[in-house]
Amino acid sequence: MVPQLTVDDTPTAEPTARDQVLDAARAARDAQPRLAVLTRARKDAVLLAMADALTGRSAKIVAANAEDLAAADAAGMDPGLRDRLVLDAERIVSIAQQLRDAAALPDPVGDVVRGSVLANGLQLREVRVPFGVVGMIYEARPNVTVDAAGLALKSGNAIVLRGGSAARHSNEAIIAVLREVLLEQELPDDLIVGIDAHGREGADALMGARGLVDVLIPRGGAGLIRRVVERSTVPVIETGTGTTHVFVDASADLEQAVPIVLNAKTQRVGVCNALETLLVHADAAGTALPVLAAALVGAGVTLHVDDRSRAILDAVAATVDPAAVVDAVPEDWDLEYLSLDLSVRVVEDLDAALAHIRAHSSGHTESILTRDLAASQRFVQEVDSAVVMVNASTRFSDGGEFGFGAEIGISTQKLHARGPMGLPELTSTKWIVIGQGHVRP
Amino acid sequence: MVPQLTVDDTPTAEPTARDQVLDAARAARDAQPRLAVLTRARKDAVLLAMADALTGRSAKIVAANAEDLAAADAAGMDPGLRDRLVLDAERIVSIAQQLRDAAALPDPVGDVVRGSVLANGLQLREVRVPFGVVGMIYEARPNVTVDAAGLALKSGNAIVLRGGSAARHSNEAIIAVLREVLLEQELPDDLIVGIDAHGREGADALMGARGLVDVLIPRGGAGLIRRVVERSTVPVIETGTGTTHVFVDASADLEQAVPIVLNAKTQRVGVCNALETLLVHADAAGTALPVLAAALVGAGVTLHVDDRSRAILDAVAATVDPAAVVDAVPEDWDLEYLSLDLSVRVVEDLDAALAHIRAHSSGHTESILTRDLAASQRFVQEVDSAVVMVNASTRFSDGGEFGFGAEIGISTQKLHARGPMGLPELTSTKWIVIGQGHVRP
């Protein structure tokens, strides 16, 4: 599509990182039409062959991973990050399983979204088609390399992968295996290309490859996502950041509220659908807050509280350890802690809760705990977030929980996809119009 | 949504054009929740009141339009552009009708897109919701001001309008009437804001208002659209450019092909779904091209031909005026003429036609004329355009023709919306999850 092609492809004597990334994206683009016309059966066979190859050739991958781990240890990498980087034979079996799972999912390509026959007899169908080339920028988690490549392949898309530099050797070994299988299956290996070797400059080139890459999906922390959103001229699907709220309404059932709040905050901490701010209706705060706080602090949570919460909790220092209660600073209301910390605020009423959420939510997931039908209806209608819940833990905001079978990420933007994204969100559509000599009057 | 807010809103002594535009966008954003919860009946009543007000207060609008016309005449504006700028009482009646038409359309807000009950009993629904704030950047056509405002209101969105500076007085008069009606209807007038007064700097500010404006839709020529796509940090829906192809296959029915090609090229010339390049299968070219060329040249079309077409047409100079046949230059294959010009090329076969389209199409609309089922199937599957047709004129690629009732534009991008866009394409969705105390195991 020439008019969209705004990249400069003048050859130079020494190819720069930028040139090499644009060449890689162009190769992926040229290869993709071969994939677009493949049947589901053929795509599933390729995915299963890839799964077999990953486990069968895992020694090479583990060896490459050892290089990354040695560098990580030398650099004193955070233990949590290091754990995500580790690959052993067992983990590779579970990563290969992701490809088998992708094979088992329905193929979105070709699905008829809408269709009709117009008054003049023209037959109209809107059908799902692959995007073309998907770019993925993510952090040092080699399992994402396999997951993203598998879902892209299943949805008919070529993919350009840019993982974290700390996982470079692991990613390159994995991508080499996947590309070998593509060739063995008589498909172009450029359907899956990795650009980790080209560093930061390569990532910037990918963000500028408008016309070569159809959509760019960042997966990772808030900083990574913001950088991609701000720099990319390729359309981006923004994922992930969750400053998630639970509002305990005046009529909330406290026996339900305690396990829901505890589950939302502590069932898993470092994830985007974990709870970050608890709002409590003033009419319920006197009874509810001490019980909620005791349960949370008992589970190891530090509470960052406003003045009204402080006044209530100071009176129950016997059941809520004062050491776990700190005064909130203004920044707390906008934080995604991803840790055993929770902002807590007493709000005057539903309107105040809605106003707080409007001002501070990242638009990911919010939940109201209530027995009041009208309050639940207003909350559901007026909260402008990807997922709005009633009497449920925010941890259910997840593609797997929603039954999608696979999750590309959770979109916090409003264009194209919102909330958990499954395979259909990796497709576009086209309109097919069948006539019998039709001309427009 | 604080984390997305990347605009600098530090107050300064003298507000710049940029400050004023950001303030206007913020005001629209603050007003929109009032609109989001309005019933369809209330929105339709507002639209009908606006239609009445436009005709009832048309004298003011015509007077403002006279100022724009005087400036246009002084600047020697192109007659075609000037004609689009003119407003008289009759045209205002027809513009007001657009609002009545919008009132008659179904309201997309609240439509349930998907829904299910999960195994654990959670009730899941994906429902349509407004984007929030829509930005529209367009050329000097005051009717677009009304059309865009009406469709935004119907779909629950506030709108920031940036029309062409040549229509500034007309747009301001129209927007003043629409805002008066909003106040009369006890709604915030900032649901519709115009920023024509702030010039190019204002348009740039709108493109940078990420976090305040949810989506930006440029409507107009290729230059305008490209500028917005390249500069905007707000997500853009790219519309319009159509380097549209018809491929006359070896088996095409010539009695159908001539009227279709003529209709596609000449029924209306300055529109994005008009034909720009004709490809003819080599096996059919000897008989088909002379007949097609005679019909096209007879209708006043100038043909920009490749060497093989030239050889065929030189032999039939008696029926095809040689003065209307010029040699194509490489640029012709990528041009959207929007005039009585047509690029013509003989291609060896279907593969060559597909390769030409892949290299030169803007991804808007392509049509194959054929009696060969397999050829039609390959064309439909392999052409990667928003609309792909068989035996029909490209002029049907239109929201009105598709039965949408209204058209926001024709998207040539793959994200969010592709092809003709109706009211549902001005919405996002959100997920509603209803539990009864659900926690994640």
Domain containing residue B92: 17-236
Type of residue numbered B377: Q
pLDDT for position B260: 98
Q: Which of A6, A226, A356, A438 to mutate to test the interface with B (most CBs of B within 10 A)?
A: A438
Per-residue pLDDT tens for B242-267? 899 999 999 999 999 999 999 999 99
- Structurally, how many domains does chain A consist of? 2
Residues of A whose CB is below 8 A from B263: 439-440
B103, part of any domain: yes
Do both A83 and A175 map to the same domain? yes
pLDDT for position A1: 36
The CATH number given to whatever domain includes residue A109 is 3.40.605.10
Q: Kindly state the percentage of chain A with pLDDT values over 90.
A: 83
Span A34-42, average pLDDT = 96
Query: Chain B: nearest CA to A6, how far in angstroms?
Result: 9
Q: Which of B176, B202, B236 is the endpoint of a domain?
A: B236
Kindly determine whether residue A414 and residue B237, on different chains, have CB atoms separated by under 8 Å.
Answer: no
Query: Chain A: nearest CA to B72, how far in angstroms?
Result: 31
pLDDT for position A99: 95
B412, part of any domain: no
- In the predicted model, is pLDDT for residue B9 greater than 60? no
Question: Using H for helix, E for strand and C for coil, what is the string for A216-274?
Answer: EEEECCHHHHHHHHHHCCCCECCECCCCEEEEECCCCCHHHHHHHHHHHHHCCCCCCCC
Chain A: residue whose CA lies nearest to B264: A439
Nearest to A33 among B382, B402, B433 (CB): B382
Residues of A whose CB is below 8 A from B1: 361-363
Interface size, chain A vs chain B, as Cβ–Cβ contacts under 8 Å: 245
Chain A: residue whose CA lies nearest to B257: A437
Span A42-55, average pLDDT = 98
pTM metric for this prediction: 0.90
Query: Chain B: nearest CA to A232, how far in angstroms?
Result: 9
Q: pLDDT band for B1, please (50, 70, 90 cuts).
A: very low
Do both B33 and B125 map to the same domain? yes
Q: A21-35, A199-213, A289-303: which has the minimum mean pLDDT?
A: A199-213
Chain B: residue whose CA lies nearest to A213: B414
Q: Which of B430, B434, B436 to mutate to test the interface with A (most CBs of A within 10 A)?
A: B430
Span A371-385, average pLDDT = 97
Do both A258 and A234 map to the same domain? no
Q: Higher model confidence: residue B405 or residue A175? A: A175
Residues of B whose CB is below 8 A from A433: 387-390, 392, 396-397
Kindly determine whether residue B418 and residue A431, on different chains, have CB atoms separated by under 8 Å.
Answer: yes
Q: pLDDT band for B75, please (50, 70, 90 cuts).
A: very high
Nearest to B415 among A235, A420, A439 (CB): A235
Kindly determine whether residue A415 and residue B235, on different chains, have CB atoms separated by under 8 Å.
Answer: yes
pLDDT for position B12: 52
Residues of B whose CB is below 8 A from A241: 3
- In the predicted model, is pLDDT for residue A199 greater than 90? no
A4, part of any domain: no
Cβ atoms of B258 and B292 closer than 8 Å: yes
Kindly determine whether residue A415 and residue B214, on different chains, have CB atoms separated by under 8 Å.
Answer: yes
B432, part of any domain: no
Type of residue numbered A412: T
Nearest to A131 among B389, B414, B438 (CB): B414
Whole-number Å distance between alpha carbons of A249 and A247: 6
How many other C-beta atoms are found inside a 10 Å radius of the C-beta of residue B288? 24
pLDDT for position A271: 87
- DSSP output for B215-284: EEEEES-HHHHHHHHHH-SS-B--B----EEEEE-TT--HHHHHHHHHHHHHSSSSSTTSEEEEEEEHHH
How many other C-beta atoms are found inside a 10 Å radius of the C-beta of residue A111? 14
Kindly determine whether residue B122 and residue A414, on different chains, have CB atoms separated by under 8 Å.
Answer: no
Do both B52 and B164 map to the same domain? yes
Whole-number Å distance between alpha carbons of A161 and A25: 10
Largest CA distance in chain A: 84
Q: Which of A210, A217, A394, A414 to mutate to test the interface with B (most CBs of B within 10 A)?
A: A414
Compute CA A222 distance to the chain's CA centroid, rounded to the nearest angstrom.
Answer: 11
**Considering just the CA atoms, what is the radius of gyration of chain A in Å?**
25
Q: A426-440, B2-16, B212-226: which has the minimum mean pLDDT?
A: B2-16
Type of residue numbered A104: A
- In the predicted model, is pLDDT for residue B198 greater than 50? yes
The CATH number given to whatever domain includes residue A294 is 3.40.309.10
User: Residue B260, SS3?
Assistant: helix
- Average pLDDT across chain A, whole number: 93
| Closest to B179 in 3D by CA, of B165, B161, B206, B204 | B161
Q: Which of A39, A337, A430 to mutate to test the interface with B (most CBs of B within 10 A)?
A: A430
- In the predicted model, is pLDDT for residue B5 greater than 60? no
Q: pLDDT band for A5, please (50, 70, 90 cuts).
A: very low
Chain B: residue whose CA lies nearest to A384: B430
Do both B225 and B260 map to the same domain? no
Kindly determine whether residue A393 and residue B4, on different chains, have CB atoms separated by under 8 Å.
Answer: no
Whole-number Å distance between alpha carbons of A230 and A238: 11
Kindly determine whether residue B387 and residue A430, on different chains, have CB atoms separated by under 8 Å.
Answer: yes
Do both B274 and B358 map to the same domain? yes
* φ/ψ of residue B416, rounded to 5: 75, -60
Return the sign of the alpha-carbon dihedral for residues B347, B351, B354, B360. Answer: negative
Whole-number Å distance between alpha carbons of A103 and B379: 28
Chain B: residue whose CA lies nearest to A114: B402
Do both B343 and B252 map to the same domain? yes
Per-residue pLDDT tens for B358-368? 999 999 999 99
Q: Which of B184, B211, B236 is the endpoint of a domain?
A: B236
Whole-number Å distance between alpha carbons of B49 and A161: 53
Residues of A whose CB is below 8 A from B210: 229
B408, part of any domain: no
- Average pLDDT across chain B, whole number: 93
Residues of A whose CB is below 8 A from B385: 430
Kindly determine whether residue A430 and residue B235, on different chains, have CB atoms separated by under 8 Å.
Answer: no
Kindly determine whether residue A418 and residue B401, on different chains, have CB atoms separated by under 8 Å.
Answer: no
Per-residue pLDDT tens for A125-152? 999 999 999 999 998 889 999 999 999 9
- In the predicted model, is pLDDT for residue B337 greater than 90? yes
A440, part of any domain: no
Q: B2-6, B106-110, B288-292, B434-438: which has the minimum mean pLDDT?
A: B2-6
Kindly determine whether residue A432 and residue B388, on different chains, have CB atoms separated by under 8 Å.
Answer: yes
Nearest to A438 among B362, B393, B428 (CB): B393
Q: pLDDT band for B11, please (50, 70, 90 cuts).
A: low
Type of residue numbered B64: A
Type of residue numbered A212: L
Do both B329 and B229 map to the same domain? no
Do both B277 and B384 map to the same domain? yes
Query: Chain B: nearest CA to A1, how far in angstroms?
Result: 5
Q: Kindly state the percentage of chain A with pLDDT values over 70.
A: 97
Do both B190 and B281 map to the same domain? no
Query: Chain B: nearest CA to A223, how far in angstroms?
Result: 11
Do both A171 and A277 map to the same domain? no
Q: Which of B209, B236, B263 is the endpoint of a domain?
A: B236
User: Residue A130, SS3?
Assistant: strand
Residues of A whose CB is below 8 A from B420: 431
Kindly determine whether residue B391 and residue A416, on different chains, have CB atoms separated by under 8 Å.
Answer: no
B22, part of any domain: yes
Query: Chain B: nearest CA to A267, how far in angstroms?
Result: 8
Nearest to B388 among A4, A396, A430 (CB): A430
B34, part of any domain: yes
For B5, the enclosing helix (H) or strand (E) is none
Nearest to A233 among B230, B428, B434 (CB): B230
Do both B147 and B292 map to the same domain? no
Q: A236-250, A368-382, B30-44, B63-77: which has the minimum mean pLDDT?
A: A236-250
